[in-house]
Amino acid sequence: MSTRTIKTVIFMGSARNISPPWGGDSRLGDRVLNWVKNTVSTRKETLGSETITHDFYVVDPLEVFAPNGALSGFTGGELGAPVFFMKPEDLPQATKDLGDKIKEADCYLIVSPEYNHTIPPALSSVMGHFGGSNYKCKPSGIVTYSPSPFAGMRAAMAIQIMCHELGCLPVSKLCGIPNVSDVLELDGSPKDPENRMLKQLPELLTQLEWMAVAMSNQREKTGSF
């Protein structure tokens, strides 16, 4: 049985770096992001005659918009100068490298909270800096979270639409983690490995891998439309 390694870009949706007045993590989503990374890094699943593994790359707004980050300096979170408006020779090397990672990906995973019941601006800005030609004919999977029982599902609905319009079609399975600090440790390890909410991610990844392989095969045969 051969092994196929899928190039997976994980977008972190939150740029929060301050604890709320009532206390808690400065960015609750780090628990979820670490859990997703841990799951993807150890995953080996059989799909047809192949074993599927992931080579993943994390795009974190706290890093890309920081000083000397891939989207700092000439542009910013307000999307004043989208990367796809710029000439390649005018882009910093770090920006080119980030664009290459996004364009070369086979699929995308989005880990996001909901801000004001919709998409966090950091997420829409990071993804929107790069034109739809980078994303099209590839699948995406959506993981949302919240400190409440609702697991960020209202944001998931809006992120689905954004991904559709970018061309990275979301799989139907969603993963939502409610009451995150009760479910996951800071390093992403589950507090109760039998928690039924944790079963969502493997099911999402199964769909994502199937679509990633199918769409990659089709791109190799016919190219993107």
Mind listing the pLDDT tens digit of every residue in the chain (225 residues)? 899 999 999 999 999 999 989 889 999 999 999 999 999 999 999 999 999 999 999 999 999 999 999 999 888 889 888 999 999 999 999 999 999 999 999 999 999 999 999 999 999 999 999 999 999 999 999 999 999 999 999 999 999 999 999 999 999 999 999 999 999 999 999 999 999 999 999 999 999 999 999 999 999 998 777
* Stated pTM of the model: 0.96
- At the topology level, CATH places domain 2-222 in Rossmann fold (3.40.50)
- Count how many Cα atoms sit within 13 Å of the Cα of residue 69 in the half-sphere of its side chain: 15
- CA angle in degrees (0–180, nearest 5) for 179-181-183: 70
Return the pLDDT at 75.
84
Q: At residue 92, what are phi and psi to the nearest 5 degrees? A: -60, 155
Q: Which residues contact 112 (CB under 8 A, 6 or more apart)?
A: 11, 12, 13, 14, 29, 119, 120, 123, 142, 143, 144, 145, 152, 155, 156, 159
Radius of gyration of the chain (CA): 17
- CB burial class (10 A; 0-12, 13-18, 19+) of residue 141? buried
End-to-end Cα separation, the chain, in angstroms: 31
CA 118 – CA 159 distance, rounded (Å): 8
CB neighbours of residue 163 within 10 Å: 22
